[in-house]
Structure 1
Amino acid sequence: MDQSRKQNAGGLSRRRFMGSTAGGALVVALAASGLPGRARAAEPLKVAGIYTVPVEQQWVSRIHKAATAAEARGDVEYVFSENVSNTDYARVMREYAEQGYQLIIGEVFAVEQEAREVAAEYPDIAFLMGSSFKHDDALGNFAVFDNYIQDASYLSGIIAGSMTETANIGMVGGFPIPEVNRLMHAFMAGAREMNPDITFQVSFIGSWFDPPKAKETAYAMIENGADMLYAERFGVSDAAQEKGVLAIGNVIDTQADYPDTVVASAIWHFEPTLDKAIAEVQAGMFKAADYGVYSFMREGGCSLAPLGTFEGKVPQAALDLVEERRAQILAGDFTVEINDEEPKSS
């Protein structure tokens, strides 16, 4: 297994992991008893991450950050594989399962069927996977998640709508799948709160990690009048910086790298999602479920990054609306629409 950051600490076989010894029987008995996980988790939970892109990539970086934080707390023992091809994904899943990892996390958007087939082979191992589809109660050890950060994306759209002077916003995404589409729609809805006449240029580059292609796509949008860009992919903010236009970040805050370019960012916090799964596994209560809700703002799963270098530069009317909507979202009085349909240019 190609693992550039850590070597597998295990080497346990699935048979040995499940245990035919008295110790193994005790673990099974405690799980069945429903005792609190901390009472029976003498050792950190063994967690493995499987990623099809580098851990520096925006989306995966948030999963990786949460896992390393859990490891720093002593809750888990964490290893991972990055740049795993779609054709190798099922094999890597099996290898980690055979080595005794108790919770396997990752993203299976391109390998849904194969990943679920592997999970069915290891019913005593918990799988928590980024997916465009819902969980299946018949596959009780396979839970799904996605970055439902539409709340923060909507708020970032309000700021974008107040800052564009041409009322022309360019949006560059990876693929038109639900987890991208819903964020773009939320952003667009927020922007229209400030100016209902804003037009949008929407394009997808067909890759999760191709900064040069994203940059070229952004260049074309700027040439076509966009003075604000939605940077769903790496490379977009580079184009904005070079051409002297503004950008809104997604999933991570890159303002430190683009202090005069990135106005605001919708941040994904994966910690609530992962911590819930860790607790469920430790308690012997993990089951098929949709963990997407833990990305909602009211669950602490997303936020709007601080304005930082743009403090004092965003119109007060936009800031007032952001605070009003944020309070309403947290109180449950305002719901950002979840629209998974592919967004189109105006």
Structure 2
Amino acid sequence: MHPRRSLILAAAVATLALPTLAPAQQAKLKVAAVYTVPFEQQWVGRIHKALKAAEARGEIEYKATENVANADYERVLREYATAGNQLIVGEAFAVEAAARKVARDFPKTMFLMGSSGKPQAPNFSVFDNYIQEPAYLTGMVAGGMTKSNKIGLVGGFPIPEVNRLMNAFMAGAREVNTKVEFSVSFINSWFDPPKAKEAAFAMVDKGADILYAERFGVSDAAKERKVLAIGNVIDTQAQYPDTVVVSALWNMEPSIDRALKLVREGQFKPEEYGVYSHMQHKGSALSPLGTFEKKIPAELVAKVRAREAEILAGKFTVKIDDAQPKSTAK
């Protein structure tokens, strides 16, 4: 064989022998997150959980900063963007202008931010916990379980993200119990368990026998006063086995996994991710009944399951009502 042909053949064989780059060997995406509250706070905790899962799979390098003051938020965002992170996740509700300004200054960095606003070209997508569907279902449970027909709701701030869940919960309760009355209170904080606890105590003193725990601290009050609680965003029944009946769960994985895929493919664009929190996308769910499996009347469980099936099949739509809910209790 001609020496030149031998060299060409050898090179071809060597090229074929080279290993292909498996997905697990691909360069990891650099992802950062900026949170104004601690990781343990339930809303942020769900985002952090989804990102930690991607980190555990070996897909991303993940760094996060918790408890960032609003005044420092822009600075921390800029530091992460300057450090070359390809995707930055966080919540921009109280710092919309600052977050969007940073996004404009770093057009090659992708941002996925919790926001009440719209997506912003070319790189700013928004998400929110649109879990009104399981919130409606938990309301049905509460409406069917109350004996006093008085339910208390304690929320953080009266903003759309909280209001829509409370309104859905109240609508679900009314579906099964037209006599139910509601006491609604906001503590004007995202993380102040003692304040939420005091607000809940006041509602129990007025006759509420079920509390909607939109904030941490409410379930503690329910446990102490021996009334029931309905959870929100996370399932805390393991910590309150005789208190928390059921919860509306938020699963951030569908949104996070979608964003990571698009960034990896160079296809990330301004988009509203709210729909990926819907039950049909597995972005939210009704928690297992667990310790209350036998304590909830079978007839009520059947009604809830039937409504759940209709939601999943697209045959029933839970109204999105972002207006501030009002107390109806006399």
TM-score, length-scaled by structure 2: 0.91
1:230 aligns with 2:205: no
Percent identity, aligned pairs only? 63
User: Which of 260, 264, 277 is matched with 1:295 structurally?
Assistant: 277
User: Which of 105, 116, 119 is matched with 1:135 structurally?
Assistant: 119
The equivalent residue for 1:248 is: 230
Q: Distance in 2 between matches of 1:79 and 1:272?
A: 20
Q: How far 1:266 sits from its partner (Å)?
A: 0.5
The equivalent residue for 1:67 is: 51
Q: Distance in 2 between matches of 1:206 and 1:44?
A: 39
Matches within 5 A, 1:246-285: 246-285=228-267
Deviations 1:17-44 (A, max 9, x none): xxxxxxxxxxxxxxxxxxxxx8798211
Contact 1:40–1:282 under 8 Å retained in 2: no
Q: Distance in 1 between matches of 2:237 and 2:192?
A: 20
Contact 1:48–1:96 under 8 Å retained in 2: yes
Letter in 2 for 1:332: G
Matches within 5 A, 1:180-191: 180-191=162-173
Deviations 1:178-214 (A, max 9, x none): 1100000110011111101210000000000000000
* Structure of greater Rg: 2
> Which ranges of structure 2 fall in alignment gaps of 5 or more residues?
1-21
Matches within 5 A, 1:1-346: 42-136=26-120, 139-346=121-328
Q: Distance in 1 between matches of 2:151 and 2:24?
A: 53
Find the residue that maps to 2:274 and give its secondary structure: helix
> Which ranges of structure 1 fall in alignment gaps of 5 or more residues?
1-37
Q: Distance in 1 between matches of 2:160 and 2:27?
A: 37
- Equivalenced residue count is 307
TM-score, length-scaled by structure 1: 0.87
Q: Distance in 2 between matches of 1:186 and 1:111?
A: 27
Q: Distance in 2 between matches of 1:302 and 1:130?
A: 16
Deviations 1:204-251 (A, max 9, x none): 000000000000000000001100000000000000000010000000
Find the residue that maps to 2:129 and give its secondary structure: coil
Q: How far 1:318 sits from its partner (Å)?
A: 1.6
The equivalent residue for 2:4 is: none
Letter in 1 for 2:196: A
Contact 1:41–1:282 under 8 Å retained in 2: no
Q: Do the aligned partners of residues 40 and 227 (structure 1) sit closer, same or farther apart at CA in structure 2, a change above 3 Å counting?
A: closer
Deviations 1:131-184 (A, max 9, x none): 111213xx2200000000011101111111111000100000000111100000
Contact 1:170–1:222 under 8 Å retained in 2: yes
